[in-house]
Structure 1
């Protein structure tokens, strides 16, 4: 397919020196300790060498670009008729001018990110605090928009203030002063860069702890020969190399809006009008996440009611058969920040606005994991978790239109919360010739699902002109299998030559993510992870996620049949229905007090000592099946302690009240002391409880400052209580 012969615009571009102050960047995002932990796992020398190579080549390539543009009459920049912005950014190996273009045409409930927010379905208070996201786009963000406060910063002195970049950043981090424009990670911070030096800047920021970046642009589909579509080319490999050497960093990109364009006249499947085989550039990278746009409807419980790919979203596959796009998100009529002034809003459609919904959701998932586990996930783990928990649409398994389905942030964090009870999330390393084996028991209440995900080394070979080249870009081919009673269950796979056919189970030789689903699973299963051939560049890190398993004999039920069995002058003994492998937490207090005493036991009975004769008491019991998973509390019971004549009264006929005042804590994680943010009544008390149920600190909350340097590292629960009731929040002591 020929590209248009364009006229050179009389525009000069001054290449400004880019000065990054990474000390200020570190304080702008994650903590220095968190950044150090991330950087310690990186192949820093290889990443540094590659970054220096990119820098050395940039000026030379840019000069060649300007000369070629002048000689051939190519436009350097252009505002397109549909409002998108394009710019000449590179010349392909075959001499094709490559134009980057934004992908807009012309949220929160659709990604289920709102379930994580303050007052969300899960009531987690995960809003993006102390998290940072990178935004590369056509130009700079309008940083002084009222929705951004001081949370958005421009790092590369971009010449162009861009409406597209401002819309994308609003979807990510807008505060929500206008509730309709509330960003997915609305308390996070963002850094803005234009796309001219995207690889160099992303590599430098990834080397300094950046976890996620959003790229809602790509190569224009109407200006390249047909062989480019679905090809693994140099820019695909470059981004894979960055992610391989910085294994906590993940790139998220838009799939493109070319479904109806008929730009690929020689697709690997069907005809140009079918919309398949339209992936271009870094959208074909192995290790990144490519996002399709979907029309989505959910209910108020976060359940997907319906979803369908939009009429513009570009379809895969990659020519080697890999599953692209990876995931789908809402992309229609999204209300977000505009550029006309600092109070302007706009409505946008496209994969450009679907992508930041995924990027922002992943940022929240990382934040939640760090709070719960004390560390961030590798990029392969995060990617694997999002694909593993996506809502499947239409036929079982993935497809080349919406990948593994619609992103479901709520399901992703529930898998993290269920770790050790009904889910496994484990970051592993596979040695040359090694087989990893995992014995699991299906819980019988949900499908048994197992997946592996890995960041694959950048391949040494790229396509330089072969139409529909099906050579696999995958370097290290890992395999997952599940066996039971002589039967082997295989992962999902797709066939590029039959792109509209449903997924089948078989030996997947092309994707760096493999997933097996077993419906109606019962009993014992064996999961194995192996590899084919040799492992390039030494041992291969991978992540395994398993759901639908029973990891303990604990049954997550609220304790019932609570009885007072014995009593003497200072104590009472309680018992309840037994529950194998459960930890029970008992809270009791003097009825007039706002502070609960906490006891724990693995038995189905406990003695409460040092009680005061004539005093009225309240008590309640809950079941813990893992450190994160517990039942609801039982009904509250009350009794008046009368020594040996004490009797347990019927449960109280009112519901437990919760504090109407909302509060948060800062910082979180915390090292020395933390501050309570919110209106705290003068009679409010606080207590800090470890996950084994021990109260480690308590006192009056009125001062709002709590010193916790004397606590050991770990996860705790802070509870505020007053006469209105109580409310709790988790925090991590680092």
Structure 2
């Protein structure tokens, strides 16, 4: 075992304990904070924070006593500008130094597609969002790039160039355009690393969604058994994330690939660069970010990518896939702490990490914009890993994890939810399975993932070299089956760290993904578990892409026609569309605002019209909350009762009203309740089903008046089953 002895030096000063002043709220608004923390056990989070505070105070006293006895340096400025500081003492007596990670840089690619004017033009820049940044010190909050959007957490901490650089990569406004941060309209909290676990625990309990940590244990000052080990600090961070399931930690992988600091890696030789992750980077639930050298084509897609020559490689000793993702791009020009208008160019995983953190924050903002809520951390992490650009060999690797983050593709999956993608937060109870049948989309790649925030591992390593004992607590499994064939998820083998990924039974990762190339037809996806589940259940998120959730196609309606008008009604019909709702708008030619109705058939009766007025009509197809067609061309007619005709409404095509539906839902859209009307038998039963296939209400359908006030806004399927079979329709809940 190669033991690195710290350079002896007399301790000349003692760093003060920091006092945390007040309780900070990290929710984006009071209502959003309540939504984030509603499921949290506040007493449990308070207990975790209190326990870590006591452990921290005890550990600090022991650390300072040992530092004095052994002449350890408390802190040190390195020749390359980096900063190290004694953070704690390991179980074997090793002094653990945290260090900043600023050797190279990689910026997030395609995050700007979410901005106004970007490829997706979503208007998502981070407005109103908050992110935490812990680092060697605090950022220069008076820098011109920050305005009043960066606030200090540790009021007696020193300003650090590294903290300013990282915060700038996240939230710089772009006073100098090339220094603009990824989430350049977001707010940030800046704090130093000495009480990071304690402060993050309290912040997470108050609604913090994401924090960035571009530092880690210095690899040159620990014995080899630390590398890849699940240790106490790994367990502590997993415990925070498990008990605050909307909070996600993002960390930099480090820059030690060529330093040869691990002489006995779990695979290969020290010159190979594997097995260099340690400390909180071996936690199960966070995202560890590598740096990549990338080439982009003119359309903004990855042309080529390789791991940066400095970026620390995995694996974790139990075989888990780490790093998780890679940031890509050229050197980052960012804010510097030497002055309020100072800048610097820098490179490293320290910059790759905030690039990913900022992109994740934008995805949370976009999800809230679409659906009125934030994603759980397992959903956000799973979405990022599911949609990453797979480079080189298929599947993940121990260099860049699941690949280069693709913020654009992740945002598109959110948009396509319930249309060509499914993203659903579920709970698996002990002894049960979750199953869903889906149709693949036209010989495309079909991908299915499960992601979960796992409980902290019970076992922590205290000195065993390359211990392969799995840290996973609840082992979920995903399988895809079709015609007797079973598809398995990707997995890696730490003992063969340079080999390509294979498929099989993954027993170590809290994220599993299956890819089916050229998928066609119907597949069954099943989620199960091994052994017992802690607390007899496990929350998880399932993500599917490349599927046809609905038969609807967002085509603009055509062939609008008037059918047998009367003195009081003008019936309109148009081309039908499977599984669609139609938004119909009409007004007189002198009015400025449209009257709007929604129907799930390809017809509507316009009523309340006045003789002699000219009316305009347009309509569009709606497939899901976010997928709809353009409006049709506006057509017009003069209402003359039964003699109503129109010159520009097509009348040479005939489309009958769908007469298979023997019932109707009223009102549609609905707010408080819906009524079922029609030829419904006494024994018929109704089911209200989400677009993800989950039944949320059921009962007798005859003359039913159903309370829907407790349902979330969105599109639902209502089906009625009787002796004659099953019939269904859709309705909107406003």
Shorter-normalised TM range:
0.7 to 0.9
- Given the superposition, is the C-alpha separation of residues 489 and 183 from structure 1 closer, same or farther in structure 2, using an over 3 Å criterion? same
Alpha-carbon distance between aligned partners in 1 of 2:134 and 2:387, rounded to the nearest angstrom:
27
C-alpha contact 1:283 1:290 (8 A) present in aligned 2: yes
Return the match for 1:228 from 226, 229, 234.
226
1:357 aligns with 2:355: yes
Alpha-carbon distance between aligned partners in 1 of 2:361 and 2:670, rounded to the nearest angstrom:
30
Q: Which residue of 2 aligns with 1:647?
A: 646
1:123 aligns with 2:128: no
Alpha-carbon distance between aligned partners in 2 of 1:586 and 1:71, rounded to the nearest angstrom:
80
Q: CA deviation at 1:522?
A: 1.7
Q: CA deviation at 1:290?
A: 0.3
Q: 1:196 aligns to what SS in structure 2?
A: helix
Alpha-carbon distance between aligned partners in 1 of 2:346 and 2:616, rounded to the nearest angstrom:
55
Q: Which residue of 2 aligns with 1:8?
A: 9
Q: Which residue of 1 aligns with 2:674?
A: none
Q: Render the CA deviation track for 1:340-377: whole Å, top value 9, x for unaligned.
A: 11111221211111111111111121122223222222
Q: Render the CA deviation track for 1:612-658: whole Å, top value 9, x for unaligned.
A: 6676655433211112211233344456667736434399xxxxxxx
Return the match for 1:521 from 519, 522, 544.
519
Alpha-carbon distance between aligned partners in 2 of 1:622 and 1:108, rounded to the nearest angstrom:
43
Q: CA deviation at 1:693?
A: 11
Return the match for 1:493 from 491, 494, 507.
491
- Given the superposition, is the C-alpha separation of residues 538 and 100 from structure 1 closer, same or farther in structure 2, using an over 3 Å criterion? same
Alpha-carbon distance between aligned partners in 1 of 2:418 and 2:179, rounded to the nearest angstrom:
37
C-alpha contact 1:30 1:131 (8 A) present in aligned 2: yes
- Given the superposition, is the C-alpha separation of residues 608 and 180 from structure 1 closer, same or farther in structure 2, using an over 3 Å criterion? farther
Q: CA deviation at 1:538?
A: 3.1
- Given the superposition, is the C-alpha separation of residues 469 and 16 from structure 1 closer, same or farther in structure 2, using an over 3 Å criterion? closer
> What is the aligned residue count?
662
Q: Which runs of 5+ in 1 are unaligned?
A: 652-689, 695-710, 717-732
- Given the superposition, is the C-alpha separation of residues 11 and 362 from structure 1 closer, same or farther in structure 2, using an over 3 Å criterion? farther
Q: Which residue of 1 aligns with 2:259?
A: 261
Q: CA deviation at 1:33?
A: 2.7
C-alpha contact 2:105 2:291 (8 A) present in aligned 1: no
Q: Which residue of 1 aligns with 2:22?
A: 21
Q: 1:87 aligns to what SS in structure 2?
A: strand
Q: Which residue of 1 aligns with 2:408?
A: 410
Q: CA deviation at 1:8?
A: 2.6
| Residues 434-453 of structure 1: pairs in structure 2 closer than 5 A | 434-444=432-442, 446-453=444-451
Q: Please identify, of 570-579 and 90-99, the stretch whose mean Cα deviation from structure 2 is larger.
A: 570-579
| Residues 630-709 of structure 1: pairs in structure 2 closer than 5 A | 630-637=628-635, 644=643, 646-649=645-648, 692=669
Alpha-carbon distance between aligned partners in 1 of 2:61 and 2:269, rounded to the nearest angstrom:
38
| Residues 215-254 of structure 1: pairs in structure 2 closer than 5 A | 215-254=213-252
Q: Which residue of 2 aligns with 1:698?
A: none
Q: Render the CA deviation track for 1:315-346: whole Å, top value 9, x for unaligned.
A: 11101100000011125311211111111122
Q: CA deviation at 1:569?
A: 6.4
| Residues 201-350 of structure 1: pairs in structure 2 closer than 5 A | 201-298=199-296, 302-330=300-328, 332-350=330-348
Alpha-carbon distance between aligned partners in 2 of 1:89 and 1:107, rounded to the nearest angstrom:
25
Q: 1:169 aligns to what SS in structure 2?
A: helix
C-alpha contact 2:107 2:329 (8 A) present in aligned 1: no
Q: 1:508 aligns to what SS in structure 2?
A: coil
Q: 1:202 aligns to what SS in structure 2?
A: helix
Return the match for 2:83 from 70, 82, 85.
85
C-alpha RMSD of matched pairs (Å): 2.8
C-alpha contact 2:557 2:619 (8 A) present in aligned 1: yes
- Given the superposition, is the C-alpha separation of residues 274 and 3 from structure 1 closer, same or farther in structure 2, using an over 3 Å criterion? same
Q: CA deviation at 1:248?
A: 1.4
C-alpha contact 2:637 2:644 (8 A) present in aligned 1: no
Using structure 2 for the length normalisation, give the TM-score.
0.85
Q: Which residue of 2 aligns with 1:368?
A: 366
1:199 aligns with 2:200: no
Q: CA deviation at 1:456?
A: 1.2
C-alpha contact 1:107 1:184 (8 A) present in aligned 2: no
Q: Render the CA deviation track for 1:196-216: whole Å, top value 9, x for unaligned.
A: 011111111111111111000
Q: 2:97 aligns to what SS in structure 1?
A: strand
C-alpha contact 2:393 2:500 (8 A) present in aligned 1: yes
- Given the superposition, is the C-alpha separation of residues 106 and 531 from structure 1 closer, same or farther in structure 2, using an over 3 Å criterion? closer
Using structure 1 for the length normalisation, give the TM-score.
0.85
Q: 2:620 aligns to what SS in structure 1?
A: strand
Alpha-carbon distance between aligned partners in 2 of 1:131 and 1:376, rounded to the nearest angstrom:
11
Alpha-carbon distance between aligned partners in 1 of 2:417 and 2:452, rounded to the nearest angstrom:
20
Q: Please identify, of 40-49 and 54-63, the stretch whose mean Cα deviation from structure 2 is larger.
A: 40-49
1:483 aligns with 2:484: no
Q: CA deviation at 1:168?
A: 0.9
Q: 1:197 aligns to what SS in structure 2?
A: helix
Alpha-carbon distance between aligned partners in 1 of 2:165 and 2:633, rounded to the nearest angstrom:
48
